[in-house]
Protein backbone atom coordinates (compact mmCIF):
# COMPACT_ATOMS: atom_id res chain seq x y z
CA UNK A 1 0.00 0.00 0.00
CA UNK A 2 1.26 3.46 -0.86
CA UNK A 3 1.74 6.24 1.66
CA UNK A 4 -1.16 8.10 0.04
CA UNK A 5 -3.39 5.03 0.42
CA UNK A 6 -2.46 4.64 4.08
CA UNK A 7 -3.10 8.34 4.76
CA UNK A 8 -6.45 8.14 2.99
CA UNK A 9 -7.53 5.14 5.07
CA UNK A 10 -6.34 6.83 8.27
CA UNK A 11 -8.28 9.99 7.39
CA UNK A 12 -11.44 7.97 6.69
CA UNK A 13 -11.10 6.07 9.98
CA UNK A 14 -10.56 9.35 11.81
CA UNK A 15 -13.68 10.87 10.21
CA UNK A 16 -15.78 7.82 11.11
CA UNK A 17 -14.55 7.70 14.71
CA UNK A 18 -15.16 11.41 15.33
CA UNK A 19 -18.56 11.16 13.64
CA UNK A 20 -19.50 8.36 16.02
CA UNK A 21 -18.11 10.28 19.00
CA UNK A 22 -19.92 13.52 18.05
CA UNK A 23 -23.15 11.85 16.99
CA UNK A 24 -22.98 13.46 13.55
CA UNK A 25 -20.55 13.77 10.67
CA UNK A 26 -18.96 17.07 9.63
CA UNK A 27 -21.69 18.16 7.22
CA UNK A 28 -21.13 21.54 5.59
CA UNK A 29 -23.87 24.15 5.51
CA UNK A 30 -25.24 24.38 1.97
CA UNK A 31 -24.46 27.48 -0.09
CA UNK A 32 -28.07 28.70 -0.17
CA UNK A 33 -28.46 28.30 3.58
CA UNK A 34 -25.21 30.21 4.15
CA UNK A 35 -26.42 33.00 1.86
CA UNK A 36 -29.80 33.23 3.60
CA UNK A 37 -28.21 33.16 7.05
CA UNK A 38 -25.60 35.81 6.23
CA UNK A 39 -28.11 38.10 4.52
CA UNK A 40 -29.91 38.64 7.84
CA UNK A 41 -26.83 39.19 10.00
CA UNK A 42 -26.23 42.89 10.60
CA UNK A 43 -24.98 44.96 13.48
CA UNK A 44 -23.89 42.02 15.63
CA UNK A 45 -22.77 42.66 19.19
CA UNK A 46 -19.77 41.04 20.84
CA UNK A 47 -17.77 38.05 19.64
CA UNK A 48 -19.24 35.60 17.14
CA UNK A 49 -18.95 31.97 18.17
CA UNK A 50 -19.57 29.04 15.84
CA UNK A 51 -20.13 25.63 17.39
CA UNK A 52 -19.02 22.81 15.12
CA UNK A 53 -17.15 24.67 12.39
CA UNK A 54 -16.58 21.53 10.33
CA UNK A 55 -14.64 22.30 7.14
CA UNK A 56 -14.75 26.05 7.87
CA UNK A 57 -17.00 27.07 4.97
CA UNK A 58 -19.41 29.16 7.07
CA UNK A 59 -16.59 30.49 9.26
CA UNK A 60 -14.78 31.88 6.20
CA UNK A 61 -17.92 33.72 5.08
CA UNK A 62 -18.43 35.11 8.59
CA UNK A 63 -14.79 36.25 8.60
CA UNK A 64 -15.26 38.06 5.29
CA UNK A 65 -18.54 39.70 6.29
CA UNK A 66 -17.35 40.76 9.75
CA UNK A 67 -13.65 41.62 9.50
CA UNK A 68 -13.87 43.81 12.60
CA UNK A 69 -15.46 41.17 14.87
CA UNK A 70 -13.60 38.52 16.81
CA UNK A 71 -14.78 35.10 15.71
CA UNK A 72 -14.18 31.89 17.64
CA UNK A 73 -14.98 28.59 15.94
CA UNK A 74 -14.90 25.16 17.57
CA UNK A 75 -14.23 21.89 15.76
CA UNK A 76 -12.97 18.75 17.48
CA UNK A 77 -12.67 16.39 14.49
CA UNK A 78 -9.08 16.39 13.19
CA UNK A 79 -9.60 16.19 9.42
CA UNK A 80 -12.22 18.96 9.08
CA UNK A 81 -10.24 21.01 11.61
CA UNK A 82 -7.09 20.82 9.46
CA UNK A 83 -9.00 21.86 6.34
CA UNK A 84 -10.62 24.74 8.23
CA UNK A 85 -7.25 25.77 9.70
CA UNK A 86 -5.80 26.13 6.20
CA UNK A 87 -8.85 28.06 4.96
CA UNK A 88 -8.73 30.46 7.90
CA UNK A 89 -5.00 31.31 7.80
CA UNK A 90 -5.61 34.70 6.20
CA UNK A 91 -8.16 35.84 8.80
CA UNK A 92 -6.30 36.96 11.92
CA UNK A 93 -9.53 37.89 13.70
CA UNK A 94 -10.67 34.25 13.64
CA UNK A 95 -9.62 31.79 16.31
CA UNK A 96 -10.21 28.16 15.38
CA UNK A 97 -10.06 25.85 18.37
CA UNK A 98 -9.78 22.08 18.16
CA UNK A 99 -11.76 21.64 21.34
CA UNK A 100 -14.98 20.11 22.50
CA UNK A 101 -17.34 23.08 22.92
CA UNK A 102 -19.35 21.13 25.52
CA UNK A 103 -16.42 21.67 27.89
CA UNK A 104 -16.04 25.39 27.11
CA UNK A 105 -17.62 28.42 28.75
CA UNK A 106 -19.75 30.21 26.16
CA UNK A 107 -20.68 33.18 28.34
CA UNK A 108 -18.62 35.65 26.28
CA UNK A 109 -20.74 35.05 23.17
CA UNK A 110 -22.41 38.02 21.57
CA UNK A 111 -23.70 35.92 18.70
CA UNK A 112 -23.68 32.15 18.67
CA UNK A 113 -24.21 30.14 15.46
CA UNK A 114 -24.64 26.40 15.09
CA UNK A 115 -25.85 23.65 12.78
CA UNK A 116 -26.21 20.56 14.91
CA UNK A 117 -28.61 17.63 15.23
CA UNK A 118 -31.79 17.48 17.41
CA UNK A 119 -30.26 15.68 20.41
CA UNK A 120 -27.39 18.19 20.51
CA UNK A 121 -29.89 21.06 20.40
CA UNK A 122 -31.66 19.58 23.43
CA UNK A 123 -28.35 19.46 25.32
CA UNK A 124 -27.37 22.92 24.09
CA UNK A 125 -30.60 24.43 25.37
CA UNK A 126 -29.51 23.53 28.91
CA UNK A 127 -25.95 24.78 28.32
CA UNK A 128 -27.24 28.03 26.79
CA UNK A 129 -29.61 28.66 29.68
CA UNK A 130 -26.81 28.09 32.19
CA UNK A 131 -24.09 30.11 30.46
CA UNK A 132 -25.34 32.70 27.98
CA UNK A 133 -26.03 36.27 28.95
CA UNK A 134 -29.51 37.66 28.32
CA UNK A 135 -29.75 39.21 24.86
CA UNK A 136 -27.15 36.85 23.33
CA UNK A 137 -28.21 36.23 19.73
CA UNK A 138 -28.46 32.50 18.97
CA UNK A 139 -28.80 31.42 15.35
CA UNK A 140 -29.44 27.85 14.30
CA UNK A 141 -30.47 26.32 11.05
CA UNK A 142 -32.34 23.15 10.23
CA UNK A 143 -32.93 22.32 13.91
CA UNK A 144 -34.56 24.61 16.47
CA UNK A 145 -33.71 25.09 20.14
CA UNK A 146 -36.47 23.02 21.79
CA UNK A 147 -38.92 25.08 23.82
CA UNK A 148 -37.58 28.47 22.74
CA UNK A 149 -39.64 30.90 20.70
CA UNK A 150 -37.59 32.42 17.86
CA UNK A 151 -37.62 36.18 17.34
CA UNK A 152 -37.32 35.44 13.64
CA UNK A 153 -37.68 32.40 11.41
CA UNK A 154 -36.97 32.45 7.70
CA UNK A 155 -36.25 29.89 5.02
CA UNK A 156 -33.39 29.40 2.64
CA UNK A 157 -34.24 29.11 -1.05
CA UNK A 158 -32.85 25.58 -1.22
CA UNK A 159 -34.69 22.39 -2.14
CA UNK A 160 -35.65 21.74 1.50
CA UNK A 161 -36.67 25.33 2.35
CA UNK A 162 -34.30 24.97 5.28
CA UNK A 163 -35.49 26.95 8.30
CA UNK A 164 -33.14 29.40 9.97
CA UNK A 165 -34.01 30.42 13.52
CA UNK A 166 -32.88 33.51 15.38
CA UNK A 167 -33.33 33.72 19.13
CA UNK A 168 -32.46 36.19 21.83
CA UNK A 169 -31.36 34.37 24.94
CA UNK A 170 -34.41 34.63 27.17
CA UNK A 171 -34.18 36.09 30.65
CA UNK A 172 -34.83 33.16 32.97
In a domain, 159, yes or no: yes
Range of the structural domain that residue 123 is part of: 27-168
In a domain, 107, yes or no: yes
In a domain, 65, yes or no: yes
Tell me which residues of the chain have a pLDDT lower than 50.
none
Q: So what's the pLDDT on residue 45? A: 83
In a domain, 161, yes or no: yes
In a domain, 11, yes or no: no
The CATH number of the domain holding residue 144 is 3.40.50.150
In a domain, 115, yes or no: yes
CB 14 within 8 A of CB 78: yes
Q: So what's the pLDDT on residue 117? A: 87
d(CA 51, CA 136): 15
Q: Provide the H-helix boundaries in the chain.
A: 3-22, 31-39, 57-65, 78-87, 118-131
CB 111 within 8 A of CB 82: no
In a domain, 55, yes or no: yes
d(CA 120, CA 23): 8
Domains contained in the chain, number? 1
Q: What is the pTM of this model?
A: 0.85
Q: So what's the pLDDT on residue 78? A: 87
In a domain, 13, yes or no: no
Amino acid sequence: MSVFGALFIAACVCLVLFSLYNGIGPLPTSQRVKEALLSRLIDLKGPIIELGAGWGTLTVLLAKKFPDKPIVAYENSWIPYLFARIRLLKYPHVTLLRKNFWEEDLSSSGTLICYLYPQAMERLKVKFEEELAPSTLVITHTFAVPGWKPISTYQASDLYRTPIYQYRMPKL
